[in-house]
Structure 1
């Protein structure tokens, strides 16, 4: 059925409009001058033209477009659920380009000890050889329409997206679905990508903050969220095409998939996608794997850092302190309050390549980075999932300053949990920054399509952006203190990397929060 539908869609590639849009004639094109003078730049200054057609009158034979309306109703997301459970969502856009994404409720939390690393490898295997196309043909077809394809993997969801001009929507949908539904995982392609995965793992030491955010999950959770998002080294020699095929067959089912698009009419998208997706297996959606937050401690002494200490007396330590937010995105009020709290605390690096001024009014910039030159970076972070979330502070400092830096981090977290410590001016600035970040991100058609798909996978619907903006507006200083108190009442998760010799014990750091 897929092949029959695909062949019909390929016939659409030959369609082209027979009408050529009329270009607007310029004044120069209809100039009635009888002589030209004015020197070399006369054409630019207009001094060489003695007479031209008046621009306030329409040209004969030229049809003017209708005037733009004073107000345009924002496009609403339309959703259709096919009989097998897959959801198709779209919203129109005046933009000449379209973005289409196929998102799957499947991430590293669904991996087992046998399939650890499958999500990471699947991200790298996206848009490779399928049953209907070689990898070369996929590349050539994307290039032919000037498109852009990409894949992303997270702990709870996988995403595949295609961005190109709207005139190529049929080809975009067909190639996207073919790449997700019909991969063949050739041995040589899998082995090639495994080498790249191995290189990524080897380079993680060059990104200490990313490493800490990964490790904080395995230290803080027991269960599914402790599964590594980056393929562990032990998995590289075990992963193969067969494991990927079994993982995809088990998890890429209709009730767990959403096809979302921006810049495409709903009926058009439905007519193209339904024949390609209607025969996808309708296996009941499994229960989401459980994760239990426990808190914990992880320390990694970087041997290269130790060598630099010996040779150059150059000591640096990276650490993170984190706490749990119960409920995650399903506790929407708390999740949005936590987002505002992260913006309120802010932070960053002691050196800004883009010049001073970015985020300089956040609490961590004013109270930490401006006050302590020993601190290289200091920032708040959050990771919110369907049923839980993490919030904390990560920092980089000289190893001899680590005890003081941890005291400072504890002080800042306790401060926002203290009623009256956050004034209304600070909170209003954080709320406005949060809203502007949301709205600016949604200006991207790719982000808009992704947001629609992920909301549908999480909530079963696409909530309007006004709903979230209203929730942000309703956040009060009391809400900030309340959410911070809830965070600090959970067990501490602590991770450190680099020269960890001077990092205080877990119990001594945890006790700083238990006293409050």
Structure 2
């Protein structure tokens, strides 16, 4: 085999470029326009939102794209696990599993294939109060993908390919935070997390007819031709679903009334999880942003991931808990804000032998929020919160979903006001909110692990909370 030097290799490449017309672009002057190409110029401008409410009750939201980009389409529904009851526990998981069903069994394969042909961009996400169906596509596919997204979101689904008995496999795998909320709200409203493997098909269909209704849906699009064009397109598409358009609005089955109880789950595990929390505020409350800053102050930390950009190396979860207490292997601040309530707490993970110490450390850390906070720590936490918010708003799909949630929760879009609200918060505000946590509600306690039934009683925990 003949060997060539690096110099000879580069000489060969240069000769190829000089003689091959396809490679001429490499020799173009970067300061001059490429022959045969017409660039697209578009002026950078503030993002503009427009909202229209259709006669059927569905809201349509559009966002002007600042530059040529792909199209994002979201359908946000004002329903989630809080709309489930003991009969329909797990209905949201079923809807997620049957995402591509829009009729008979064949529709699943057909819709899945169409989704893949258009880039495979459809996905569904749900939490306690909202459900989002999202997709991305090139602008030319907007009509076909909107049609497919509506099929997956509002078409009735049944048990022909998946039965709720499969939910029994997930009964033992509930997340700590969901069990924490169950203890806080006595398993009702936003605290609903039970799964019913015996759910009937009729109960499942009733759930869909009751809560997937026009007045609960907001359809949004970004980088669409115009607001009027998108509104007309949505109106035409919805005419295919007369059964959906005739559905009436039904209120949520339960209010989210804070109860403040305890749940202990005995398991065989080397580690134990302990959480102590209190009643917080809803989205409309002026103290909402203060809880977000407190969440940033405490942060999250675990023994296998500390420090580094964005990981909270200065957060109290790292400095006060993980780095100082040998029995703590993880610390997570929990802040859940809903339309009619809120919940704030701290979860610690550690060794079984140190359950009581974990409880005491949890309460002590929450009490420390009543002490003055240094200007440096406060400003750092504000900067982290603003950075996280702005980073999430850079992505078109996330920004569109956030704008839709603002319309649902605030009846207006307040994305530009968030930074001003953060800047106005003082250390006195944080101290006041921390005091009110203990004054206005009884604690919620959740423990999962081996030996939790031998830990200190709920009454003892209450005395620890209120003795300082």
TM-score (normalised: structure 2)? 0.88
Q: Distance in 2 between matches of 1:47 and 1:120?
A: 58
Q: What is the deviation of 1:288?
A: 7.0
Residues 101, 155 of structure 2: 8 Å contact kept: no
| Distance in 2 separating the partners of 1:404 and 1:473 | 36
2-structure distance, mates of 1:143, 1:222? 42
1:75 aligns with 2:42: no
**Mean alpha-carbon deviation: is it higher for 475-484 or for 149-158?**
149-158
Residue number in structure 1 paired with 2:391: 440
- 1:509 equivalent to 2:464? Answer no
Q: Which residue in 2 is equivalent to 1:478?
A: 428
SS in 2 for 1:163: strand
Structure 2 distance, partners of 1:355, 1:424, is 22
Query: Corresponding residue for 1:337?
Result: 290
- Is 2:65 the counterpart of 1:65? no
Aligned counterpart, 2:171: 201
Return the match for 1:292 from 231, 240, 257.
Answer: 257
Partner of 1:6: none
Give 2:136's aligned residue: 163
- Of 411, 435, 453 in structure 1, the residue corresponding to residue 404 of structure 2 is 453
Instruction: Confirm or deny: 8 A CA contact 2:300 2:332 kept in the other structure.
Output: yes
How do residues 99-178 of structure 1 correspond to structure 2 at under 5 angstroms?
99-130=72-103, 134-178=107-151
In 2 relative to 1, CA 47–97 (structure 1 residues): closer, same or farther, beyond 3 Å?
closer
Q: Match of 1:24? A: none
Query: C-alpha displacement at 1:291, in angstroms?
Result: 2.2
Measure how far apart 1:411 and its partner are. Answer: 1.3
Residue 248 of structure 1 aligns with which residue?
208
Q: Is 2:11 the counterpart of 1:42?
A: yes
CA distance in 2, matches of 1:436, 1:401: 36
Distance 1:103 1:57 in 2: 45
Q: CA deviation at 1:202?
A: 3.9
Q: Given the alignment, which residue of 237, 242, 267 partners 1:276?
A: 237
Tell me the secondary structure at the aligned position of residue 287 of structure 2.
helix
CA contact (8 A) 1:84 1:282 kept: no
Q: Distance in 2 between matches of 1:347 and 1:111?
A: 30
Report the Cα distance in structure 1 between the residues aligned to 2:429 and 2:137, rounded to whole angstroms: 43
8 Å contact kept, 1:299–1:495: yes
Runs of 4+ in 1 over 4 A off after TM superposition: 43-60, 66-69, 353-357
Q: Distance in 2 between matches of 1:190 and 1:47?
A: 59
TM-score norm. by structure 1 comes to 0.80
In the alignment, is the contact (CA less than 8 A) between 1:128 and 1:138 conserved in 2? yes
Structure-1 separation of matches of 2:301 and 2:136: 32
**Which deviations, in whole Å up to 9, do the C-alpha atoms of 1:477-515 show, x marking residues without a partner?**
111111111212211000001111442111111112212
Structure 2 contact 156–208 (Cα < 8 Å) conserved: no
In the superposition, relative to structure 1, how do residues 140 and 386 fare at CA in structure 2: closer, same or farther (>3 Å)?
same
Q: Secondary structure at the match of 2:161?
A: helix
Note if contact 1:146-1:164 (Cα within 8 Å) is conserved in structure 2.
yes
Q: Which consecutive residues of structure 1, in runs of 5 or more, have no partner in the other structure? A: 1-37, 205-209, 306-314
**C-alpha separation between the residues in 2 aligned to 1:222 and 1:178?**
35
CA distance in 2, matches of 1:368, 1:241: 48
Mapped partners of 1:412, 1:53: distance in 2: 62
Tell me the residue number matched to 2:4.
Answer: none
CA distance in 2, matches of 1:492, 1:146: 48
Q: What CA deviation, in whole Å up to 9, does each residue of 1:255-291 have, x standing for no partner?
A: 1111122222322321211122365136345367312
**RMSD across aligned positions (CA):** 2.7
For 2:108 and 2:325, the matched residues in 1 are separated by 53
C-alpha separation between the residues in 2 aligned to 1:54 and 1:380? 54
- 2:3 aligns with none
CA distance in 1: counterparts of 2:69 and 2:310, whole angstroms: 35
Q: 1:354: Cα distance to partner?
A: 8.5
> 2:160 maps to which residue?
188
The residue aligned with 2:152 is 179
1:218 to partner: Cα distance: 1.9
Contact 2:81 2:192 in 1 (8 A): yes
Query: What is the aligned partner in structure 2 of residue 386 from structure 1?
Result: 339
Are the structure 2 counterparts of residues 334 and 275 from structure 1 closer, same or farther at C-alpha, using a change threshold of 3 Å? same
Q: Kindly tell me the number of residue pairs found equivalent between the two proteins.
A: 448
Q: Alpha carbons of 1:129 and 1:368: their partners in 2 closer, same or farther (altered >3 Å)?
A: same
State the Cα deviation string for residues 120-157 of structure 1 (Å, max 9, x = none).
Answer: 22222222243696101001101111131111222212
Alpha carbons 1:106, 1:252 under 8 Å: kept: yes
CA distance in 1, matches of 2:307, 2:187: 41
Identify unmatched segments of 5+ residues in structure 2.
1-6
2:185 touches 2:259 (CA, 8 Å); kept in 1? yes
- Measure the CA separation in 1 of the matches of 2:249 and 2:102: 28
Separation in structure 2 between the aligned mates of residue 351 and residue 59 of structure 1, nearest angstrom: 50
Q: 2:413 aligns with which of 446, 462, 475?
A: 462
Report the 3-state secondary structure (helix = DSSP H, G, I; strand = E; otherwise coil) of the residue aligned with 1:292: coil
Other structure's SS at 2:52 match: strand
Contact 1:300 1:496 in 2 (8 A): yes
Q: Distance in 1 between matches of 2:50 and 2:297?
A: 35
Check the 8 A contact 1:150/1:162 in 2, yes or no.
yes
CA contact (8 A) 1:402 1:503 kept: yes
